[in-house]
Structure 1
Amino acid sequence: MTSKDQQLVESAKTAALEVLLHNSKGPFLDLPRTAGWGYPEPYTRDLLISVLGIATTNNAELLQTVRKVLLMLAQNQSKKGHIPSLVHDKEDRGASDTTPLFLIAAVIYGKVTKEPLFLEDAIKKALSWMEYQSPSDRCLAAQLPTSDWRDEQWVLGYGLFVNTLAYTYLKLFGKTKRAEKLRREIERPIFTSNQAKNQGHEGLIIDHQPYYALWAYKVYSSERFDLLGNSIAILSGMASPSRAKAIVDWVETSCASMVKNMELSVDLPPNFFPFIYPGDADWRPRYVDFNQPGDYHNGGIWPFVLGFYIAALVAVKQYDLAEKKLLELTRLIKIGKNKELGFGFNEWYKSQNGKPKGQDWQTWSASNYLYAARCVAEKRTPFFDAIR
């Protein structure tokens, strides 16, 4: 990295910290806000994902906000252990990813603050909740559509993202036997015909691709690529080293083709592809307004997801490629809707033209940038190295 590039990264890191501090108190019980001006609410999944980057800063003020978030989530946890979708609202429920994210964030916070028993009772309840999330009494957790971070996209049954979170928290808590059982269940093939259901339970392996399926349930599945889920599979060690490298190679080759086809304008992978187009079997009428091809969850470029991807590149020791992607991400996050901002840290960007389409100063965009930058600088992946 040239000195000019390094200076740019350092400027972005300084700006990211400014974003996090700015967002650390919002209008709801002084809880952090999800974005600088839009999204004043404390969305659980956004704030819990942000713990990863905050934990690498050792910033006392930000760590205190994490503590407040975790304590309030424990206070608003359901009797059976489920974590709400809004930190301050115990009645806002139904998310499939908030409980596993709570477990990951709680153990990371406990490691950073050297409080291994922090929220022990809430953690036990959350672990119990997750054990009951499989309709076939397996380790694989099932979900309803739009219940994970993709609130405008259908992920039905056994989704990759939620199950990579489950594998991660199991490893972090040292529950290696259950983690291995979950990994073996994921490593089973998806069903491709009605006859296949006689071959045992379905998994998330696609015979002709190196990556994991987006979701599968009985004879139904999606073979479209989920960058977030596959990146966490690599980071956590769920994917073998050979599969991890093959996934990265496939992503880079596919994105090069997308650039040639003018579906992608920057050297960064979208969160999801191939895009869903009108007329495709998985196209839904609501996508016309909220999920056009290359937009939002249907292939938008999300900085927080790229933070995980860059970390995954470091995990497979693709250090030069990780540095290249970090610099590309740094140039992208400079762009915001508000032209007066030095760094926009926007929520998401349109794949075909790289324009910011979400909210500026998004908390998880800033936080995961800091995490990715730390991974590239130190050639390691904090909190994941120990479980991979």
Structure 2
Amino acid sequence: MKDDLPLNDSITLLRELATPLGIRASRSSVANYAAIFARDAIMAGLAGLTIGDAPITAGLVRTLEHLRDLQGPQGQIASNFRVEADDTRHVSFGTLAPRFDSATWFLVGVGAACQHGQANFEDYRAAVTRVIALLDGIEYNGRHLLYVPAGGNWADEYPFDGYILYDQVLRAWGLRLLGTVANEPAWVAKAEAIGHTIAERFWPAGDWQYGGARRFPVAAISPVRTDEHVDLAACALLALSDLVPDRTTGILDAMRDTFLNANALPPAFSPVIAEGDPDWEPLARYHLHGFRNRPHEYHNGGIWPVWLGWLALAFARHGRPADVATLHALTAAHLARLSHFDFEEYFHGVTGEALGTQGMAYTATGFVFLETARFNQVDLPWTR
């Protein structure tokens, strides 16, 4: 059967990006994308595990090995690294802000690799224990949530901070995976405590500030504000991991009703922040490589295939093939309208134009997950 999405090309790209050091973020060298980014490489490696692809899976293992060996003195995991021809190493733990999700993705990646027999946990026990201790220290107050600075995760130019849902989900999921692998009940118990806290804190009483009843969890909470934007990454990962079982069906129903039933692909964050909105000024002045968050672009309403893939996995895991089929069909139709496509980062939320850096592992990963979900191949250890 001919693929509606470029599955074979996606696998080819991920194999091309799997180097002896790990999986590169992109075939492009723009804005340091030739480096190995922890989150990009680990997600790509999980795609390799999902389809049983040996070269991509080997790239995951090499990524994890190098992240372990480059671990910071307090247990930090590098956001990205690269090695020059003369063996000079460039290691970054963040630029405008520390990147906390490199540490949490490392936990998820090690747990998944061990569950699939691709890594020996004892080779990572010391590194994992240091990461967990570091995150416990960042938590500081014993209330089961991490306080994340603006720019502290993948949405590094989006103006939200505080107790960001995405980071809590990844931490809990990684702890649960590793607690099972290592037979560490305390890690599993901590994951459960984080899940309970998410359930209590991220669905505050009252209607959604953008109108109507609250159906999605809030994106972040802090002492001074509650960010009520819909964070697709957080919602997809929370539903897939099933850390808050009582909320999973509601999240997936809301995704279906709000976006798919309207023949729309969900953007990374919604609603879009427009000029004149309260969040516009902080959004417009917060950037690293030039302003990219115009309305319906980049984090600000751009449509990212990688997060569509995670959402598809969540639908499939919870027995919703009709929703998978709709999401897959909408994505395929979106691609079919493009005159040219080279695995750009995201699509413009209105015009559908492919924008951002080309040759992205992120995007190829999303298509692998979409196709995996389409054929309901999600009964894998790391998705439980």
Q: TM-score range by the shorter chain?
A: 0.7 to 0.9
Give the partner amino acid of 2:284.
Answer: Y
Residue 298 (structure 1) aligns with: 300
Shift of 1:334: 6.1
Per the TM alignment, residue 336 of structure 1 is displaced from its structure 2 partner at its CA by 6.8
CA offsets per residue over residues 40-95 of structure 1, 9 Å max, x none? 12222211222220112322222222222111111111121110111343343410
Give the secondary structure class of the aligned counterpart of 2:355.
Answer: coil
Query: 2:337 and 2:21 mapped to 1: Cα distance?
Result: 29
In the TM superposition, residue 248 of structure 1 has moved relative to its aligned partner by 2.4
Distance in 2, Cα, partners of 1:302 & 1:61: 25
Q: Write the deviation string for residues 140-183 of structure 1: whole angstroms up to 9, x where unpaired.
A: 11110011101111221100101110111122123321112111
Partner residue, 1:329: 331
Q: Which residue of 2 aligns with 1:105?
A: 109
Residues 299-344 of structure 1 deviation map (CA, whole Å, 9 limit, x = unaligned): 100000111111111133211110221233234456778x3xxx63
Q: How many residues align?
A: 351
Q: What is the rounded CA distance, in whole Å, between the counterparts of 1:119 and 1:370 in structure 2?
A: 27
1:176-197 CA distance string (max 9 Å, x none): 2111211122122xxxxxxxxx
Residues 262-298 of structure 1 show CA distances to partners (whole Å, capped at 9, x for unaligned) of xxxx631111101111222222255383211211101
- Offset at residue 110 of structure 1 (A): 1.7
Give the TM-score normalised by structure 2.
0.84
Which stretches of structure 1, 4 residues or more, deviate above 4 A after TM superposition?
333-337
Alignment-derived partner of residue 93 in structure 2: 92
TM-score (norm: length of structure 1): 0.83
CA contact (8 A) 1:54 1:63 kept: yes
User: Do structure 1's residue 184 and structure 2's residue 196 form an aligned pair?
Assistant: yes
Q: Which amino acid aligns with 1:54?
A: G
Counterpart of 2:122 in structure 1 is 117
Bigger strand fraction: 2
* Partner in structure 2 of residue 149 of structure 1: 154
Between the aligned partners of 1:329 and 1:35, the Cα distance in structure 2 is 21
Letter in 2 for 1:8: D
1:270 alignment counterpart: 267
2:170 to 165, 170, 193: 165
- The Cα shift of 1:371 comes to 2.5
Q: Point out the more displaced range, 287-296 or 122-131.
A: 287-296
- What residue identity is the alignment partner of 2:253? D
- The within-5 A match list for 1:216-365 is 216-241=221-246, 243-255=247-259, 267-284=264-281, 287=284, 289-333=291-335, 339=340, 344-365=342-363
- Matching of residue 83 in structure 1 with residue 81 in structure 2: no
C-alpha separation between the residues in 2 aligned to 1:151 and 1:215?
A: 14
Aligned partner letter, 2:75: G
One-letter amino acid of the structure 1 residue matched with residue 194 of structure 2: L
SS at match of 2:347: coil
Deviation at 1:126, TM superposition (A): 1.1
**For 1:129, which of 117, 125, 134 is the aligned residue?**
134
Contact in 2 for aligned 1:291/1:298 (Cα 8 Å)? yes
Partner Cα separation in structure 1 for residue 311 and residue 351 of structure 2: 21
Q: Which runs of 5+ in 1 are unaligned?
A: 1-5, 189-202, 260-265
Contact 1:49/1:364, CA 8 A, preserved across alignment: yes
The structural deviation recorded for 1:234 is 0.6
Q: Secondary structure at the match of 1:275?
A: coil
Verify the 8 A CA contact 1:236 1:384 in the aligned structure 2: no
AA at the equivalent of 1:238: L
Root-mean-square deviation (CA), in Å?
2.3
Q: Secondary structure at the match of 2:204?
A: coil
Q: Percent identity?
A: 21
